[in-house]
A and B are shown apart, each in its own frame.
Chain A
Amino acid sequence: MTNLTTQYLGLTLKNPIVASASPLTKKLESAIKLDEAGVGAIVMYSLFEEQIIHDSLELDHYLTRGTDSFAEALTYFPDMNNFTMGPKKYLDHLSAIKKAVSVPVIGSLNGVSKGGWTRYARYMQESGADAIELNLYYLSTDPDLGSAELEETYINLVSDVRSSISIPLAVKLSPFATSLPNLVKRFAGAGANGLVLFNRFYQPDFDLDNLEVVNNLSLSNSGDMRLPLRWISILYGKVDMDLALSSGVHTATDVIKAMMAGAKVAMMASELLKNGYARVADILSTLQSWMEDHEYHSIEQMQGSMSQKSIKEPAAFERANYMEELASFHDLP
């Protein structure tokens, strides 16, 4: 019998498929379905501090606008009993999911202020999260902001959050770092226990009919996995952190590749959003069959087996462009 268990962030997961941060956890029923479908852990959708601030300010703006200006209409809206503003809704939801599912639940956080990052991380811990995933994403558009300065901010942030919580901490990154291994190493030094590669972003597109910029999120495909696969392979064994592969995991083959690159878990969302919860069982079953067919007895056995340090040609991961690919082709006998 093959053993699918894996260790991620100090947590023992029954298998390496983790539901990544996505709208799938916005409803309790969906989270329960994920659990029932057999995922090894659930990452909550992200709590965005910026969204919380925006929602508060927006509500305040519209409730206030026009008031006390015109004698007949001193207000335009009733004075509601209460609003669920701030992180409470998220935290309550996290607690409810934690209570309802059997697998570990990881809170996901995207902050904007130092106070926000640490406070909300602590709140998540208090609400029962088994671990926290920091969704670090800041798109620098300021020519005067150097990469070192930005990285320093990230490191300090991880360090601050680390000191405010006792549960495991993972960092989810964008692929756009000048020297990813160095940055990752410093995250480890700041106290991060895990690294999730990579974040998927809303990317702007152009609407040519209206000459407007439109934002939307396109679901991933297996091809998108190449980038994290490479970096996980490179980082495996070089940093003392658990690695998670996110982006482009759709099939059992993808999971196997992730594991072989060195990931402890493979995170999925697009596939489940597109084809439903039942895919988890399908993938697990295929995974198991593949392992049996190829005589792997455990997931751990294959983890990192094709990482940079484990393969014959470490340079394969360093080839950066098309020309070198061609060159290597011509070198073939």
Chain B
Amino acid sequence: MAKRSLITIDGNEAAASVAYRVSEVIAIYPITPSSTMGELSDEWASKGKPNIWGTTPHVIEMESEGGAAGAVHGALQTGALTTTFTASQGLLLMIPNMYKIAGELTSAVFHIAARSLAAQGLSIYGDHQDVMAARQTGFAMLSSGSVQEAHDMALIAHAATLRARLPFLHFFDGFRTSHEIAKIEQLTDDDLRSMIDMSLVMEHRARGLSPDHPFIRGTAQNPDVYFQGRETVNKYYELVPEIVQAEMDKFAKLTGRQYHLFDYVGHPEAERIAIILGSGGEALEAAVEDLVERGEKVGVVRVRLYRPFDNELFVKSLPKSVKKIAVLDRTKEPGSAGEPLYLDIVNALFETGRTEINVIGGRYGLSSKEFTPAMAKAVLDELKKPEPKKHFTVGIIDDVTFTSLDVDSSYSVEYPETVRCVFIGLGADGTVGANKNSIKIIGEETENYAQGFFYYDSKKAGTLTASHLRFGPRPIKAPYLISPNTANFVACHQFSFLERYDIVKYAQPGGIFLLNSIFGPNEVWDNLPVEVQRAIIEKKLKFYNINAYEVAELTGMGSRVNTIMQTCFFAISGVLPRDLAIAEIKKSIQKTYGKRGEAVVQKNFEAVDQTLAYLKEIKVPEKASGELTMRPRVPDAAPEFVKRTLAPIIALEGEEVPVSAMPADGTFPSGTTQWEKRNIALEIPVWEPDLCIQCGKCVFVCPHAVIRHKVYDKAALENAPATFKHMDSKFKEFPGMAYTIQVAPEDCTGCTLCVEACPAKDKTQVGRKAINMAPQPALRETEAANWDYFYKLPEADRTSFSFGTVKNSQLLQPLFEFSGACAGCGETPYIKLVSQLFGDRAIIANATGCTSIYGGNLPTTPWAVNKEGRGPAWSNSLFEDNAEFGLGMRLTLDKQTEYAHFLLKELSGELGTLAEDLVKSDQSNETEIKQQRDRVEALKKTLEGKKDPKSKDLLSLADLLVKKSVWIMGGDGWAYDIGYGGLDHVLAAGRNVNVLVLDTEVYSNTGGQASKSTPRAAVAKFAMSGKGISKKDLGLIAMSYGYVYVARIAMGSSDQQTLKAIIEAEAYNGPSLIIAYSHCIAHGIDMAKGLEQQKLAVQAGHWPLYRYNPDLVALGQNPLSLDSKAPSIPLEQYVYNETRYRMLVQSDEARAEMLLKEAQGDVKRHWEYYSQMAAMHYDKPAEGENI
């Protein structure tokens, strides 16, 4: 038997490495936080890694989790050993098949990184709501609480399912166990072979469908026998506990790790115990061990096999002395008598006659809410009370229904010999990656146990990351973040964070604080906010400083300070001898970057070698001094709700928000990104009026709505700040007025797209444009004042000009601003444009994905409000149903408008011509919309105070009389894959909805998995060897209906065509589909060149621009206009600017060449097809001819 190695991996890899090796078919679909399991499987399969039988499993990405479950079901029914991975909504989509798979007594394991469900809000973080929603399907359920357990239980589940003939759901905590890196013992292939009984594998195979021994399965059954049929399975369930325990025992003999269905830890005569599933059990165990040492009679039962639930065995696991039990559920079942585990325990005690035990139930840890030993203690302490709370929560402050327990946050059971380190970094600086390496080095090169866990904020640019590392001689049972005042080592890798976040709070007295700053050892202290100085002094911290930016610059590392700070950490912490540490860092650099080329390795080596000369310990003065202070969380002018609820979240102190501060129904105010002032740009655009031609292109392309232009009355300049720039308006519609382009310096991300788009160059120095980048810090204060002034200038009157030109369209106020999208995002300019054109009367259905994350992830939303209080009303339903969700909105609008018209008719006697005017107005332009709004105001005035039901009814519907615009938005993952069925139906339904597909040709939000939009020859996850088949032509499919307006746009190629298409789509009284080329970080391009890439995509024929307007058919015109010219450059000129294509050349040149040729063929065929379609002759339809 091969020797087992100790490896440092995360829970996802731990589970997947077993699942992969004992499977033949794996059907997957990406969903956070389980995606990694599918990605790893795909990666292993692509590299030809064999399972334990020496062949490579077939891994297939499906269009949805529903599809994955269907494929799994099919593979199982034909006898393959099959697995899948999912979480959250994905598991919900699998439920219908899960009933079938269980009902048919099929051996299978689903591995779940358990995650919250979307309710009042979506959350990607961990709890048991998803698995608890599947507990009724008939799957056996096995729970893991740590990375090692995720590895071990995965195998036990695969072994047990074959013997039990029941499918297993193996789950562990998402965004805890799934993403925690820990040192574990790796199971060998021999271990797996020892546990998987080949005779059972053959029996499973023999039960599969085969025409060589045919039968049918999946019949329809009637009232006479269905019930009996349902009861046939009971005996299988009865055997499961025994089978699982037997497999656990077998596993224990093999590995020495003994698990039980219910594992009890604690005092042998415990009187108070807690019952728990999952990783929270680790924290409970740690607290119990400590409390027992202190003489308390407490214990914990960790439930491993949750379904089938064995009452007898559970009760047997309890010490006889137990008097009180607290059951902890990591889920919420509103309206129930109690959460599921609680009810199971109550029932078990009742059925076994242990009714003398007092049971209480509580919720904890929803959405990865921390569950610490202090909270565990609070639960056990609650049991001491004569009248403990029957139903409680722990970990939050519930000041509404007062369910929460008080927690003594100073209670800690951290082992003194465990070293705890917190690193705060900027996403782009590589801090997390370096810490992942560090923890691997410590785990694999020392005797220490090691744990790493990583936190990310919800923005995509300028992200804060926090790495929590523990290591020490004892096993680490701490599935929670490092608490304030407990870290031995705290590092801040991004100086500017010190003015926004309390980072030093993590340090324990006498600990170490390492700072990366632009300052030298003699200057750094005076540049610290006084709050930070005070904390360093009060905690007596050893303070080290390094200018890692300088080292990075010197060694070609750019913004990546990761290896530099990693070297500092090892040098200061002394976890390894310095030379050995440096050798190990270099080894890990070689391993991580080696295949990317020697130059990459060398620059990292150089950075490591240069670091120590720059690292200095700073003498800490006795007193804090200076005038620099931390910034307020939000500006004083922010509304009360923002201050109370959003500001703590912005400051990363959301834990302090009490229940009373949260909206009960998930409703939040619009326009809150304006309060964040993230200051993430190093450089911002500066306007040069002397060169400006007022074309508005810079404003048009800005993904973040931070650069805007206005025309306004010159009189307004009287009170302008001294540095406020302006020039005479060149707009023919606004002669004699003033004109300004202004940048919001604190909201800009520094992406430079505006500079790229600017066509105006200085004739004496062409490198100078009308917009140029300049360092932000020096401009911050003055430009912030200018922005405030500019923002308050009146917006242009929407009725006074046409929106049909790019420059005019940009006079419209963006109602989508300052989003947390990636700097230079290719999607948001389109969304912003829609918000400008129709935002004051738009309702938006947003599919889950990037758009919903930068659109609606707390703390703030970019969807904004104009000065009249109007703006886009936005909502996100699910990933898969967005088209239907939007259609529902349209149905409401249509129905209620129709009813309002009905009421107007009913009340026409009283309302006179107003009623008639309100009904007949077609509102086809802004002037008419304005007139209609005026009529609605008049109507409201007339109706207000009236007592009759119809008047009251009409008053409540009056706003519906102004035409509303429904926009259904989402990415290609939604439109081409998971939501395609619904999208197709909604387009076919013929209703007036506008669908905007932000097509990045890949699942961007979940990290670059291939969708059906991914083009041939591009590399993506699940298409590692380059996608071998062509991109789906969604537009062509939609055109086939004949009554769907379809446009393909790319603003980098033609901003005017983009504008025209969006205006036409909205004007079309039927379904519209706009497919917008959206460059993306997942393409591996210089985002500043995103617009240029769009242009090349069009020139190469990859992305022909067109508009298909069904209205033209009635005029006897061809509905299809091709808006771009025939391909004029070879495809390679476009694609090889992008890493997604180039990496295939660098890894498999022959295949890249073959696919490029085929892709060039795609271009040719598509162009020929489109040009023929566009050239077709259309006769004017005869009267009555149906079009």
Chain A residues within 8 Å of B, Cβ to Cβ: 52-53, 55-86, 89, 211-212
Evaluate contact between B556 and A57: CB separation under 8 angstroms.
Answer: yes
Evaluate contact between B1004 and A73: CB separation under 8 angstroms.
Answer: yes
Q: Which residue of the partner chain, among B456, B595, B822, B1021, contacts A77 with CB atoms under 8 Å? A: B1021
Distance from A322 Cβ to chain B, minimum over Cβ atoms (Å): 34
Within the assembled complex, what's the spacing in Å between the Cα atoms of A63 and B33?
Answer: 21
Contacts A78-B1021, A82-B1147, A83-B1146 given; does A52 touch B1139 at CB 8 Å = no
The 5 closest A-B pairs by CB, nearest first: A69-B427, A56-B597, A85-B597, A73-B1007, A68-B432
Residues of B532-587 at the interface with A, using a CB-CB cut-off of 8 Å, are 556, 558, 560
Distance from B301 Cβ to chain A, minimum over Cβ atoms (Å): 32
Residue of A nearest to B462 (CB): A69
B676 within 8 A of A: no
Within the assembled complex, what's the spacing in Å between the Cα atoms of A31 and B736?
Answer: 69
Subset of 25 A-B contacts with CB under 8 Å? A59-B600, A59-B1146, A62-B1084, A64-B560, A66-B427, A66-B460, A68-B430, A68-B436, A69-B465, A70-B458, A70-B459, A73-B1004, A73-B1082, A74-B1007, A76-B1004, A76-B1081, A77-B1140, A77-B1143, A78-B1008, A78-B1020, A80-B1019, A81-B46, A83-B1143, A84-B1149, A85-B596
Evaluate contact between A66 and B1081: CB separation under 8 angstroms.
Answer: yes
B463 within 8 A of A: yes
Evaluate contact between B1139 and A77: CB separation under 8 angstroms.
Answer: yes
Distance from B778 Cβ to chain A, minimum over Cβ atoms (Å): 27
Residue of B nearest to A87 (CB): B598
Contacts A62-B1084, A77-B1008, A77-B1019 given; does A56 touch B598 at CB 8 Å = yes
Evaluate contact between A68 and B1024: CB separation under 8 angstroms.
Answer: no
Within the assembled complex, what's the spacing in Å between the Cα atoms of A66 and B593?
Answer: 16
Residues of A within 8 A of B1081 (CB): 65-66, 76
Within the assembled complex, what's the spacing in Å between the Cα atoms of A223 and B1143?
Answer: 41
Evaluate contact between B124 and A71: CB separation under 8 angstroms.
Answer: yes
Contacts A57-B603, A83-B1143 given; does A63 touch B596 at CB 8 Å = yes
Evaluate contact between A59 and B1008: CB separation under 8 angstroms.
Answer: no
Q: Which residue of the partner chain, among B39, B428, B1085, B1139, contacts A69 with CB atoms under 8 Å? A: B428
Residues of B within 8 A of A56 (CB): 596-600
Residues of B902-960 at the interface with A, using a CB-CB cut-off of 8 Å, are none
Distance from B423 Cβ to chain A, minimum over Cβ atoms (Å): 12
Q: Which residue of the partner chain, among B459, B1008, B1146, B1147, contacts A76 with CB atoms under 8 Å? A: B1008
- Pick the most buried of A60, A63, A70: most chain B CB atoms within 10 A of its CB: A70
B895 within 8 A of A: no
Evaluate contact between B598 and A76: CB separation under 8 angstroms.
Answer: no
Distance from A76 Cβ to chain B, minimum over Cβ atoms (Å): 4
B42 within 8 A of A: yes
Q: Which residue of the partner chain, among B560, B603, B1021, B1139, contacts A62 with CB atoms under 8 Å? A: B1139
Within the assembled complex, what's the spacing in Å between the Cα atoms of A75 and B1085?
Answer: 15
Evaluate contact between A82 and B1084: CB separation under 8 angstroms.
Answer: no
Residues of A within 8 A of B46 (CB): 78, 81
Evaluate contact between B597 and A83: CB separation under 8 angstroms.
Answer: yes
Residues of B within 8 A of A80 (CB): 595, 1019, 1024, 1143, 1147
B521 within 8 A of A: no
Residues of B within 8 A of A59 (CB): 596-597, 600, 1139, 1142-1143, 1146
Distance from A303 Cβ to chain B, minimum over Cβ atoms (Å): 41
Residue of A nearest to B596 (CB): A60
Within the assembled complex, what's the spacing in Å between the Cα atoms of A72 and B113?
Answer: 13
Within the assembled complex, what's the spacing in Å between the Cα atoms of A78 and B1005?
Answer: 15
B47 within 8 A of A: yes
Residue of B nearest to A77 (CB): B1008
Q: Which residue of the partner chain, among B42, B556, B1147, contacts A83 with CB atoms under 8 Å? A: B1147
Q: Is the interface of A mostly helix, strand, loop or mixed?
A: loop
Within the assembled complex, what's the spacing in Å between the Cα atoms of A84 and B33?
Answer: 32
Within the assembled complex, what's the spacing in Å between the Cα atoms of A82 and B598?
Answer: 13
Residues of B413-462 at the interface with A, using a CB-CB cut-off of 8 Å, are 427-428, 430-433, 436, 454, 456, 458-460
Residue of A nearest to B1008 (CB): A76
B32 within 8 A of A: yes
Evaluate contact between B597 and A81: CB separation under 8 angstroms.
Answer: no
Evaluate contact between A82 and B456: CB separation under 8 angstroms.
Answer: no
Q: Which residue of the partner chain, among A66, A79, A84, A211, contacts B1146 with CB atoms under 8 Å? A: A84
B1006 within 8 A of A: yes
B43 within 8 A of A: yes
Residue of A nearest to B47 (CB): A81
Within the assembled complex, what's the spacing in Å between the Cα atoms of A194 and B1109?
Answer: 68
Residues of A within 8 A of B1103 (CB): none
Distance from B751 Cβ to chain A, minimum over Cβ atoms (Å): 13
B761 within 8 A of A: yes
Distance from A110 Cβ to chain B, minimum over Cβ atoms (Å): 15
Evaluate contact between B43 and A79: CB separation under 8 angstroms.
Answer: yes
B838 within 8 A of A: no
Within the assembled complex, what's the spacing in Å between the Cα atoms of A74 and B556?
Answer: 24
Evaluate contact between B600 and A84: CB separation under 8 angstroms.
Answer: no
Residues of A within 8 A of B1020 (CB): 77-78
Q: Which residue of the partner chain, among A57, A64, A71, contacts B456 with CB atoms under 8 Å? A: A71
Evaluate contact between A72 and B1005: CB separation under 8 angstroms.
Answer: yes
Evaluate contact between B430 and A78: CB separation under 8 angstroms.
Answer: no
Residue of A nearest to B560 (CB): A64
B1182 within 8 A of A: no
B175 within 8 A of A: yes
Residue of A nearest to B432 (CB): A68
B664 within 8 A of A: no
Distance from A309 Cβ to chain B, minimum over Cβ atoms (Å): 47
Evaluate contact between A71 and B175: CB separation under 8 angstroms.
Answer: yes
Contacts A56-B598, A59-B597 given; does A72 touch B1147 at CB 8 Å = no
Within the assembled complex, what's the spacing in Å between the Cα atoms of A77 and B39?
Answer: 10
Contacts A79-B43, A85-B596 given; does A64 touch B1146 at CB 8 Å = no
Evaluate contact between A82 and B1143: CB separation under 8 angstroms.
Answer: no
Interface flags for B177-192 (1: CB within 8 Å of A; 0: not) read: 0000000000000000
Within the assembled complex, what's the spacing in Å between the Cα atoms of A82 and B463?
Answer: 30
B613 within 8 A of A: no
Evaluate contact between A71 and B32: CB separation under 8 angstroms.
Answer: yes
Evaluate contact between B428 and A65: CB separation under 8 angstroms.
Answer: yes
Distance from B10 Cβ to chain A, minimum over Cβ atoms (Å): 10
B766 within 8 A of A: yes
Residues of A within 8 A of B428 (CB): 65-66, 69
Residues of B158-217 at the interface with A, using a CB-CB cut-off of 8 Å, are 175
Residue of B nearest to A61 (CB): B558
Evaluate contact between A68 and B465: CB separation under 8 angstroms.
Answer: yes
Evaluate contact between A73 and B47: CB separation under 8 angstroms.
Answer: no
Evaluate contact between A85 and B1084: CB separation under 8 angstroms.
Answer: no
Since A83-B1146, A211-B766 are in contact, a sample of 18 more A-B pairs with Cβ atoms closer than 8 Å, ordered by chain A residue number, is A52-B597, A65-B428, A66-B1081, A66-B1082, A69-B427, A71-B32, A71-B124, A73-B1004, A75-B1008, A76-B1004, A76-B1081, A77-B1019, A77-B1020, A77-B1082, A78-B46, A78-B1022, A83-B1143, A85-B595
Within the assembled complex, what's the spacing in Å between the Cα atoms of A57 and B1149?
Answer: 19
Interface flags for B20-35 (1: CB within 8 Å of A; 0: not) read: 0000000000001101
Residue of A nearest to B31 (CB): A72
Distance from B1037 Cβ to chain A, minimum over Cβ atoms (Å): 28
Within the assembled complex, what's the spacing in Å between the Cα atoms of A36 and B794?
Answer: 76
Within the assembled complex, what's the spacing in Å between the Cα atoms of A200 and B431?
Answer: 45
Evaluate contact between B1008 and A73: CB separation under 8 angstroms.
Answer: yes
Evaluate contact between A55 and B1146: CB separation under 8 angstroms.
Answer: yes
Distance from A78 Cβ to chain B, minimum over Cβ atoms (Å): 5
Contacts A63-B1139, A69-B460, A81-B47 given; does A57 touch B1007 at CB 8 Å = no
Within the assembled complex, what's the spacing in Å between the Cα atoms of A19 and B984?
Answer: 58
Contacts A65-B428, A65-B1081 given; does A73 touch B597 at CB 8 Å = no
Within the assembled complex, what's the spacing in Å between the Cα atoms of A314 and B261?
Answer: 102
Within the assembled complex, what's the spacing in Å between the Cα atoms of A78 and B798?
Answer: 48
Within the assembled complex, what's the spacing in Å between the Cα atoms of A64 and B1081?
Answer: 11
Evaluate contact between B460 and A78: CB separation under 8 angstroms.
Answer: no
Contacts A57-B556, A68-B427, A78-B1021 given; does A83 touch B595 at CB 8 Å = yes
Within the assembled complex, what's the spacing in Å between the Cα atoms of A68 and B460?
Answer: 11
Distance from B20 Cβ to chain A, minimum over Cβ atoms (Å): 15
